[in-house]
Amino acid sequence: MQIPRLHPDTIEEVKLRADIVDVVSEYVVLRKRGKDFVGLCPFHDEKSPSFTVSQTKQMYYCFGCQAGGNAIKFVMELGKRSFADVVLDLARRYQVPVQTLLPEQRQELQRQLSLREQLYEVLATSAQFYQHALRQSQGQKALQYLQSNRQLKEETIQQFGLGYAPAGWETLYRYLVEDKHYPAEILEKAGLIKPRKEGGGYYDVFRDRLMIPIRDVQGRVIAFGGRTLTDEQPKYLNSPETELFSKGKTLFALDQAKGGISQLDQAVVVEGYFDAIALHAAGINNAVASLGTALSLEQVRLILRYTESKQLVLNFDADKAGTNAAERAIGEIAELAYKGEVQLKVLNLPDGKDADEYLHKRSPEDYGELLKNAPLWLDWQIQQIIQDRDLRQATDFQQVTQQIVKLLKNIANSDTRNYYVSYCAEILSLGDTRLIPLRVENLLTQIAPPPATYSKPVSVRKAWGGSKSPLPSTDAINPVSPNSVQTRLIASLPTERSLLEHAEALLLRIYLHCPEQRQAIIDELEERDLQFSLSHHRFLWQQILEISSVDGETINLASQSDLISRLQDQFLEFGSEMGLISHLFHVDEKNQKEILRTPQVVQAAIACMDLVMLEKRYRHFLELWQQTDPEAEPERYQSYYQAFYAEKIKLQKIDRQRLFSITELL
């Protein structure tokens, strides 16, 4: 459902009524300490409490993991839910009338909310009906299948709410419509019944099937999977797409597994319902299933919310279909894997078994050992490439090499790429160590071919327009000369990115917590024409400027005592940006010492931003100059030289001053 934009009055009223101690206490045991409350942080493991809740400020903050915000943010982060969804839930709980931004949207919003509530209710009632039917005489075949074929205990059957859909064409329909008086239209929208093509009326979607409820991350039934107990096809039948259910955005058993995923810092993805159920029954409670479809990027991002190190293990069947499914899943998330944003492994169980079959004969400890030793996805991919290939045959050798090169080209991290170049060179050398250097060179040449160079040497003075034009100095032409200003300057500092990030963050923290410095910071930035380079800092600064002006008029900056609170409210709808800048809203002992020297630190931070921008512009124009053909484009060649040389002069002027200032940041 696309929820219309909520009216600010509704959001403000929810924030006023939703007491943060009341909300947090549902999830964390809080103890009074002075004027605040403390407890163990729900966002990371800890033995001594560092999680604080302030009732006066209506905010929480963890000094261990730096999580912080208000009641809405707390529920959003803990449940991995959207801003609007949380506000609506809290509005219901605290009886806040819901208004949308546009009055004409209110009726539609209420209609949609009412529809969703009815769908949740009818699906929950259906799940209870199927569970009851499993215990009746007609459900004995299904129960026998669960207990004998699947070897499931009663507690597991109840844990997953397994049931049975009777064989009749209208059994569920009559129960829900005639006995429970639900509208047939609601049942159809829930994917439980279908209209007959002829003669009118409806018939049940699921008949004579073992029923497996599919739940959302909050544990609410949103759909069903039905397994046939006969030879009927398909063997597994899922609910159709509905208002509540989308196969590509849902993972079976995630509601059961999210705690285990967080605790073990790892998620296991299997293919089938019963693979996931069997793993949970064996005490391996970090497993989910992909609902029989190719694992989508949205599903992966959903799982990764619950693992800090982003560890994901694909345990698909080892047969051809399972291998293809693993290949498709890797294809979906390859970009994340290449960048290192997900630690992806692939586990193929012995003898082509799935997890359910494997656990019938082996122990959970055996499975855990295999899980621990599962190969990284790149190793698995390489093994798939060389499988059933004879590298002594020229055709196979060429095809394998081409596929390996294609794989290695996409690895962004140079250390990882170099490791796999050596690893693949060993494979291609077929045990002859003398060939390894040759194979390494061959792979590197294909992965990163050397840049093109001019075939005809050009005289610098000729290209520069004759003897009257000034020649560039050696320092200017050679950016890596040990005598160049920028080389000496940057070599003694941390990396450009870390230095710039520290400087920008420090400047923003001073702005937020030292109102008397705000105007001075704005003046300095405007005078030097500087902008924040990092996107999350730039986004925060834009929000600050918007709050700091009304109808285009700048208001008294020093009087904005609620600036931090207003910014946090703004960022509730921008989860990824909030995660990168939330630590700036709080001051610990180290930060306090830094900002005590505000005038000097402001100047140092500004100096650092200025220096990095100069260095960046210098490199940019130098690169353009080096890449330009002086004979083909003499005017552009000279223009680029003048540009980078001007930046070099500026760097020379600020050399001593900037080095002194930057030490203030370190």
**pLDDT tens digits for 390-410?**
999 989 999 999 999 999 988
pLDDT value, residue 465: 39
Is there a contact between 216 and 79 (Cβ–Cβ < 8 Å)?
no
Task: Specify if 637 maps to a domain.
Answer: yes
pLDDT value, residue 490: 35
Answer yes or no: do 118 and 190 share one domain.
yes
Q: In Å, what is the CA distance from 411 to each residue of 96, 406, 447?
A: 51, 10, 10
Task: Specify if 439 maps to a domain.
Answer: yes
- Output the domain CATH number for residue 161: 3.90.980.10
Answer yes or no: do 422 and 532 share one domain.
no
Angle CA 559–537–546, to nearest 5: 45
Looking at 55, 84, 101, the residue that finishes a domain is 101
pLDDT value, residue 105: 64
pLDDT at 186 over 90: yes
Answer yes or no: do 513 and 652 share one domain.
yes
Task: Specify if 642 maps to a domain.
Answer: yes
Task: Specify if 58 maps to a domain.
Answer: yes
- Output the domain CATH number for residue 94: 3.90.580.10
Task: Specify if 212 maps to a domain.
Answer: yes
HSE toward the beta carbon, residue 298, CA cutoff 13 A: 7
Is there a contact between 97 and 10 (Cβ–Cβ < 8 Å)?
yes
**pLDDT tens digits for 420-465?**
999 999 999 998 888 888 888 889 888 865 443 333 333 333 333 3
pLDDT band at residue 551 using 50, 70 and 90 as cut-offs: very low
Span 522-537, average pLDDT: 81
Structure tokens at 471: 């020649």
Reference 342, options 233, 260, 267; nearest CA is 267
Q: Which of 198-202, 263-267, 475-479, 556-560 has the highest mean pLDDT?
A: 263-267
pLDDT at 125 over 80: yes
Reference 37, options 66, 18, 60; nearest CA is 60
Longest distance between any two alpha carbons in the chain, whole Å: 104
User: What are the DSSP calls for 258-314, one per residue?
Assistant: HHHHHHHT-EEEESSHHHHHHHHHTT--SEEE-TTSPPPHHHHHHHHTT-SS-EEEE
pLDDT value, residue 300: 87
Span 567-588, average pLDDT: 68
User: What's the rounded Cα separation, in Å, for the pair 513 and 25?
Assistant: 29
Range of the domain at 524: 490-662
User: What's the rounded Cα separation, in Å, for the pair 332 and 322?
Assistant: 15
**pLDDT tens digits for 187-199?**
999 999 999 988 7
Classify residue 474 as exposed, middle or buried by CB count within 10 Å of its CB (0-12, 13-18, 19+): exposed
Reference 20, options 82, 91, 84, 69; nearest CA is 69
Answer yes or no: do 120 and 77 share one domain.
no
Answer yes or no: do 77 and 160 share one domain.
no
Place of tokens 């819901």: 98
pLDDT band at residue 518 using 50, 70 and 90 as cut-offs: confident
159 vs 618, more confident: 159
Task: Specify if 598 maps to a domain.
Answer: yes
pLDDT at 550 over 60: no
The 3 state secondary structure assigned to 422-488 is HHHHHHHHCCCHHHHHHHHHHHHHHHCCCCCCCCCCCCHHHHCCCCCCCCCCHHHHCCCCCCCHHHH
Span 295-300, average pLDDT: 85
Answer yes or no: do 601 and 551 share one domain.
yes
Answer yes or no: do 182 and 168 share one domain.
yes
pLDDT band at residue 369 using 50, 70 and 90 as cut-offs: very high
Place of tokens 């080892």: 318
627 vs 190, more confident: 190
Answer yes or no: do 260 and 225 share one domain.
no
pLDDT value, residue 177: 94
**pLDDT tens digits for 253-267?**
999 998 888 788 899
53 vs 6, more confident: 53
pLDDT value, residue 610: 79
Q: In Å, what is the CA distance from 297 to each residue of 216, 217, 251, 332, 346?
A: 17, 17, 12, 6, 16
pLDDT at 339 over 50: yes
Answer yes or no: do 618 and 631 share one domain.
yes
HSE toward the beta carbon, residue 537, CA cutoff 13 A: 19
pLDDT value, residue 101: 56
Reference 358, options 346, 344, 370; nearest CA is 370
Answer yes or no: do 180 and 315 share one domain.
no
Task: Specify if 214 maps to a domain.
Answer: yes
Looking at 189, 213, 245, the residue that finishes a domain is 245
Cα Rg for the chain, rounded, in angstroms? 32
The number of folded domains in the chain is 5
Specify the pTM. Answer: 0.57
639 vs 104, more confident: 639
pLDDT value, residue 248: 87
Q: In Å, what is the CA distance from 489 to each residue of 23, 296, 496, 655, 665?
A: 52, 47, 11, 7, 15
Answer yes or no: do 169 and 272 share one domain.
no
Task: Specify if 66 maps to a domain.
Answer: yes
Angle CA 484–486–487, to nearest 5: 65
Answer yes or no: do 528 and 608 share one domain.
yes
pLDDT above 70 coverage of the chain, percent: 81
pLDDT band at residue 274 using 50, 70 and 90 as cut-offs: very high
User: What's the rounded Cα separation, in Å, for the pair 206 and 219?
Assistant: 22
Looking at 245, 279, 306, the residue that finishes a domain is 245
User: What's the rounded Cα separation, in Å, for the pair 502 and 493?
Assistant: 12
pLDDT value, residue 477: 37
- Output the domain CATH number for residue 313: 3.40.1360.10
Reference 569, options 4, 16, 1, 41; nearest CA is 16
292 vs 474, more confident: 292
pLDDT band at residue 113 using 50, 70 and 90 as cut-offs: low
17 vs 378, more confident: 378
Q: What does the mean pLDDT of the chain come to?
A: 80
Count of residues for the chain?
666
pLDDT value, residue 457: 33
Reference 225, options 125, 123, 312; nearest CA is 123
**pLDDT tens digits for 28-62?**
878 888 878 888 888 887 878 889 998 777 889 99
